[in-house]
Structure 1
Amino acid sequence: MGNLLEQLYFGEIRPEEMIVPKNPEYRTLNNEISKSKEQIKMRLSEDDMELVEETFDLIGRSSSMYSTEVFIYGFKMGILMITEAFADRK
Structure 2
Amino acid sequence: MDLNYHHLQYFWAVAREGSIARACAQLHVSQPTMSTQIRKLERSLGHKLFHRVGRGLVLTEAGKAVFRYADEIFTLGREMVDAMSDR
TM-score over 0.5 for the pair? no
Indicate the structure (1 or 2) with the bigger Cα radius of gyration: 1
TM-score by length of 2: 0.40
Which of the two has greater strand per residue?
Answer: 2
Question: Which structure shows the bigger proportion of residues in helix conformation?
Answer: 1
Greater relative CO, 1 or 2 (CA 8 Å, sep 6+): 2
Report the TM-score when normalising by structure 1.
Answer: 0.39
